[in-house]
């Protein structure tokens, strides 16, 4: 094919679409079903209606080929487990009794059975349910849902392209089922799984599907030669089936790297590649294999993960290069639009000038269609769109929101001294000891206390105008007094105010920082029926006023014990927001860090001697490819140190992270130079303490001794035993006693007893340490 015919054939598509509906109809229907208020038929009706509406939206916008089968009641990886018959033994009865209830039991568990484990989908904030496989797993094809949804689209007269999680990614995302040896590698099941995929593909072909998409995002991660061989084998086998639809293997979230030559050689009919951040690397790799002369290339030039308008001219230039490299070039989002909200036009509260820079799913769809038209008919066919796009991009660049000279000057002036504490750790530790006068094995909590129904009601009442600010604030103050009184009585050493004024640990700060935007309807699926509304880092960041000083100082004014100030760290502020795409993440992180640094300084000036800067997202933001990690960790640790580096030696900086597997970032954790770190550890039985010790972690640490993910109350004996284990790795001068994470999702009765037990255990262990008393 010549590049001219490749251009003339250019079509528009997307890899997937938001599922929930503009008013989160799906969430409401599913949760109603769980409560018994919505029948299964009504739920199915709502779901079918949403699918129809969304396909129609895509078709009306000019999308030539709509994705099917990307819809889900909960999660597409769980749907894949159903499709291949990988139902865990403990769920089989429930699934046999009722497929829908069984499905939700796998997703959420019930009285009798635990759900599948949930974890993050690559480096997004979407969570999937981890397949559980073992040497005895027997796969069986169930193509019913995929076939039915393809036919639904066909009945509307639309060309559908079923989207499946590919077999290699499915196996790479799986883990050994309970009871299966940890060394078991799910990928060894590939030969058993491929015939099941073959059957599903044949069924889809029989239903009329011309193309089927197999998503293989796991191939954008570093892969061993054995894993690459498995991919080669999978697509050789599937590609050489006789009765099959055309196969499009889709990659996204990063460059394909070593997997690109493997897939280029495979007998499949098309590849989808990410040409957003990974554009240069994918272009080079494509050129290196001599292009894809016999394949369809689906070019993901419109970013499916951010909420910014596309630079249409830049995309056209990328597409122009691609025309010379493939038999046919189609235009798409870089990944499923699942990761962005549905419609920016619904955001009526955002300044119209700024709103023009935003593209949610519907706007991205329009961009893709415009690009396809431009490619097929020449730029003359999209002159008006290009002019408008150029003007919007220019207005963004020139805006006072995105270019605050004071913020930029300050960020440019950051020195090495700003990212270093003024004294080495040994001196700080001594100064903090005499300033804080804490016992050995000091007790503390991670920040939040139970967010009670009364607190949520008070917030809703304030929003609805049923109560005034004064009444709301009195409610918050009363809650803080109660939380402090409990901690004093229980004998906790370093207190917290409990965070009752915070709806969310990122949103609370975003609302108070200049440069951040909030959306009203910008919901994005986090998992199942849980949707979040990430704030948007839109401009240069500054802090007009202190954000936490008032409540922290209030708390300190009603107790003699130290109250720990609580801030969300710069990396987490970025990770749980939509970030700017017009400057490096490092620059955005530095601006946020400077704003937080001012907050830290104000807290210290107002008498706060212990300040915790939470960074639960430090590890989850780690780039997918190892080669990119050092650069990320460098800016991430710098941002943390910039936030915390300006305090006096006797002010104690804490940080907190909520995961037990931190082996790959332990050096970065050390580099944060925090005086104290609390980590989740209760479930892994103080392995965290041993890992810190074997790394030679030199400062204080509190591996969690109370698993807050469970309503279970840990007994004092159990905590005592955990602490004694911890002491085998960490000396008593450096060991803290705390829960795994914040308490906001727990109930008061369990929290009360658990923390009392924790203090009892700390006292018992202290008493056993020679020459000390509590
Ligand atoms: N300080 C926060 C809290 O206690 C930390 C939450 C988190 O680590 N995710 O709720
Ligand atoms: Zn946590």
> What pLDDT, in 10s, does the model give residues 586-619?
999 999 999 999 999 999 999 999 999 999 999 9
Report angle CA 591, 594, 598 to the nearest 5 degrees. Answer: 145
Give which of 265, 162, 251 is closest to 205, Cα–Cα: 162
- Measured in Å, residue 452 CA sits from the centre of ligand 1 at 16
For residue 412, the tally of other CB atoms under 10 A from its CB is 9
> What pLDDT, in 10s, does the model give residues 2-52?
455 656 679 999 999 999 999 999 999 999 999 999 999 999 999 999 999
pLDDT at position 565 over 50: yes
pLDDT at residue 379, as a whole number? 95
Dihedral angle sign, alpha carbons of residues 132, 135, 140, 143: positive
Q: Is the CB of 249 under 6 A from ligand 1?
A: no
pLDDT at position 576 over 80: yes
Rounded percentage of the chain residues whose pLDDT exceeds 90: 94
Rounded percentage of the chain residues whose pLDDT exceeds 70: 98
Count how many residues are written for the chain: 774
- Measured in Å, residue 648 CA sits from the centre of ligand 2 at 26
**Which residues lie below 8 Å from residue 544, measured CB to CB, with a gap of 6+?**
512, 514
Give which of 48, 35, 34 is closest to 100, Cα–Cα: 34
Among all residues, which ones are annotated catalytic?
709
Q: Is the CB of 658 under 6 A from ligand 1?
A: yes
Give which of 252, 268, 245, 270 is closest to 327, Cα–Cα: 270
> What pLDDT, in 10s, does the model give residues 477-487?
999 999 999 99
Exposed, middle or buried, 49 (CB in 10 Å: 0-12/13-18/19+)?
middle
pLDDT at position 463 over 70: yes
Average pLDDT over residues 226-236: 98
Are 656 and 446 spatial neighbours (Cβ–Cβ below 8 Å)? yes
Average pLDDT over residues 706-714: 90
pLDDT at residue 1, as a whole number? 42
pLDDT at residue 4, as a whole number? 55
> What pLDDT, in 10s, does the model give residues 388-431?
999 999 999 999 999 999 999 999 999 999 999 999 999 999 99
Task: With cut-offs at 50, 70 and 90, classify the pLDDT of residue 647.
Answer: very high
Give which of 186, 70, 98 is closest to 134, Cα–Cα: 186
pLDDT at position 737 over 90: yes
Task: With cut-offs at 50, 70 and 90, classify the pLDDT of residue 770.
Answer: low
pLDDT at position 58 over 90: yes
pLDDT at residue 327, as a whole number? 85
pLDDT at residue 774, as a whole number? 43
- Measured in Å, residue 446 CA sits from the centre of ligand 2 at 7
pLDDT at position 648 over 50: yes
Q: Tell me how far apart the terminal alpha carbons of the chain are, to the nearest angstrom.
A: 81
Q: Is the CB of 447 under 6 A from ligand 1?
A: yes
Residue 246: strand pairing partners: 211
Which conformational region is residue 273 in: left (phi greater than 0), alpha (psi within -120 to 50 degrees), or beta? beta
Task: Determine the Cα–Cα distance for residues 147 and 280; give it in Å rounded to an integer.
Answer: 37
Q: What is the mean pLDDT of the chain?
A: 96
Which of 478-487, 668-677, 689-698 is predicted with the least confidence, judged by mean pLDDT?
689-698
- Measured in Å, residue 657 CA sits from the centre of ligand 2 at 5
Token reading at 360:
């949610």
pLDDT at position 771 over 60: no
Task: Determine the Cα–Cα distance for residues 367 and 344; give it in Å rounded to an integer.
Answer: 13
pTM of the predicted protein model? 0.95
- Residues lining ligand 2 (ion), CB within 5 A? 616, 658, 741
pLDDT at residue 127, as a whole number? 95
Which conformational region is residue 22 in: left (phi greater than 0), alpha (psi within -120 to 50 degrees), or beta? alpha
Task: Determine the Cα–Cα distance for residues 567 and 547; give it in Å rounded to an integer.
Answer: 9
Task: With cut-offs at 50, 70 and 90, classify the pLDDT of residue 773.
Answer: very low
Q: Mutate which of 500, 610, 614 to test ligand 1's pocket (most atoms within 8 Å of Cβ)?
A: 614
> What pLDDT, in 10s, does the model give residues 190-217?
999 999 999 999 999 999 999 999 999 9
Q: Which long-range contacts (CB under 8 A, 24 or more apart) does 284-291 make?
A: 285/255, 285/256, 285/257, 285/260, 285/261, 286/260, 286/322, 286/325, 286/326, 287/325, 288/261, 289/260, 289/261, 289/264, 289/265, 291/324, 291/325, 291/326
Task: With cut-offs at 50, 70 and 90, classify the pLDDT of residue 709.
Answer: confident
pLDDT at position 63 over 50: yes
| Nearest-CA residue for atom 3 of ligand 1 | 742
Token reading at 733:
């001068």
Give how far the C-alpha of residue 5 lies from the chain's centroid of Cα atoms, to the nearest Å.
40
Average pLDDT over residues 178-192: 95
Dihedral angle sign, alpha carbons of residues 217, 218, 220, 221: positive
Give which of 594, 595, 611, 714 is closest to 656, Cα–Cα: 611
Report the atom number in ligand 1 closest to the C-alpha of 568.
Answer: 1
């Amino acid at each position: 094919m010549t590049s001219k015919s490749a251009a003339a054939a250019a079509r528009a598509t997307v890899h997937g679409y938001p599922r929930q509906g503009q008013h989160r109809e799906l969430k409401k229907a599913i949760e109603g079903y769980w409560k018994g208020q919505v029948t299964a038929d009504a739920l199915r009706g709502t779901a079918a209606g949403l699918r129809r509406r969304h396909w129609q939206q895509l078709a009306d916008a000019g999308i030539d080929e709509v994705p099917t089968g990307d819809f889900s009641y909960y999660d597409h990886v769980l749907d894949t487990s159903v499709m291949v018959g990988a139902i865990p033994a403990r769920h089989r009865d429930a699934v046999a009794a009722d497929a829908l209830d069984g499905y939700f039991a796998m997703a959420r568990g019930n009285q009798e059975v635990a759900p599948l484990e949930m974890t993050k989908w690559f480096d997004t904030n979407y969570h999937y349910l981890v397949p559980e496989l073992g040497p005895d797993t027997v796969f069986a094809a169930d193509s019913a849902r995929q076939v039915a949804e393809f036919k639904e689209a066909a009945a509307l007269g639309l060309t559908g392209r079923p989207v499946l999680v590919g077999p290699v990614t499915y196996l790479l995302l799986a883990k050994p089922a309970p009871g299966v040896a940890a060394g078991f590698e799910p990928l060894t099941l590939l030969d058993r799984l491929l015939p099941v995929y073959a059957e599903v593909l044949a069924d889809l072909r029989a239903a009329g599907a011309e193309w089927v998409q197999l998503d293989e995002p796991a191939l954008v991660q570093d892969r061993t030669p054995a894993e690459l061989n498995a991919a080669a084998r999978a697509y050789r086998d599937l590609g050489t089936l006789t009765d099959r639809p055309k196969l499009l293997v889709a990659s996204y979230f990063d460059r394909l790297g070593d997997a690109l030559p493997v897939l280029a050689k495979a007998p499949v009919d098309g590849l989808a590649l990410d040409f957003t951040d990974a554009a240069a690397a994918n272009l080079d790799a494509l050129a290196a294999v001599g292009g894809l002369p016999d394949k369809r290339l689906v070019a993901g030039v419109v970013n499916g993960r951010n909420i910014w308008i596309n630079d249409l001219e830049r995309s056209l230039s990328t597409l122009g290069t691609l025309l010379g490299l493939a038999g046919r070039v189609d235009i798409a989002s870089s990944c499923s639009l699942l990761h962005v909200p549905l419609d920016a036009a619904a955001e009526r509260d955002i300044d119209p000038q700024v709103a023009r820079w935003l593209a949610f799913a519907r706007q991205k769809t329009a961009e893709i269609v415009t690009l396809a038209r431009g490619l097929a008919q020449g730029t003359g066919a999209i002159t008006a769109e290009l002019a408008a796009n150029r003007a919007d991009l220019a207005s963004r660049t020139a805006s006072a929101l995105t270019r605050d000279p004071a913020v930029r000057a300050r960020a440019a002036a950051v020195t090495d001294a700003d990212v270093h504490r003024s004294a080495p750790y040994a001196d700080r530790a001594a100064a903090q000891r005499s300033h804080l006068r804490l016992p050995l094995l000091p007790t503390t909590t991670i920040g939040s206390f139970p967010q009670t129904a009364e607190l949520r009601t008070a917030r809703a009442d304030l929003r609805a105008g049923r109560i005034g600010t004064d009444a709301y604030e009195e409610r918050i103050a009363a809650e803080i007094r109660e939380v402090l009184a409990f901690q004093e009585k229980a004998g906790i050493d370093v207190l917290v105010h409990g965070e009752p004024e915070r709806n969310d640990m990122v949103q609370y700060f975003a609302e108070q920082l200049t440069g951040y935007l909030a959306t009203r309807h910008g919901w994005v699926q986090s998992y199942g029926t849980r949707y979040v509304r990430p704030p948007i880092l839109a401009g240069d960041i500054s802090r007009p006023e202190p954000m936490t000083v008032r409540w922290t100082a209030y708390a300190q004014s009603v107790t003699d014990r130290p109250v720990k100030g609580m801030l969300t760290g710069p990396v987490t502020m970025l990770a749980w927001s939509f970030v700017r795409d017009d400057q490096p993440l490092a620059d955005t992180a530095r601006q946020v860090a400077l704003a937080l640094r001012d907050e830290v300084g104000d807290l210290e000036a107002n008498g706060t001697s212990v300040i915790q800067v939470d960074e639960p997202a430090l590890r989850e933001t780690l780039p997918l490819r190892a080669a990119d990690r050092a650069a990320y960790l460098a800016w991430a640790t710098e941002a943390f140190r910039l936030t915390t580096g300006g305090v006096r030696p006797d002010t104690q900086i804490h940080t907190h992270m909520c995961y037990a597997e931190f082996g790959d970032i332990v050096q970065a954790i050390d580099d944060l130079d925090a005086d104290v770190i609390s980590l989740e550890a209760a479930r892994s039985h103080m392995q965290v303490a041993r890992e810190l010790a074997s790394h030679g972690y030199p400062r204080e640490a509190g591996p969690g001794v109370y698993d807050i993910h469970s309503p279970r109350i840990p007994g004092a004996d159990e905590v005592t035993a955990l602490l004694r284990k911890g002491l085998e790795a960490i000396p008593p001068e450096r060991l803290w006693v705390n829960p795994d994470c914040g308490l906001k999702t727990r109930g008061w009765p369990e929290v009360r007893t658990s923390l009392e037990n924790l203090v009892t255990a700390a006292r018992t262990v202290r008493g056993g340490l020679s020459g000390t008393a509590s």
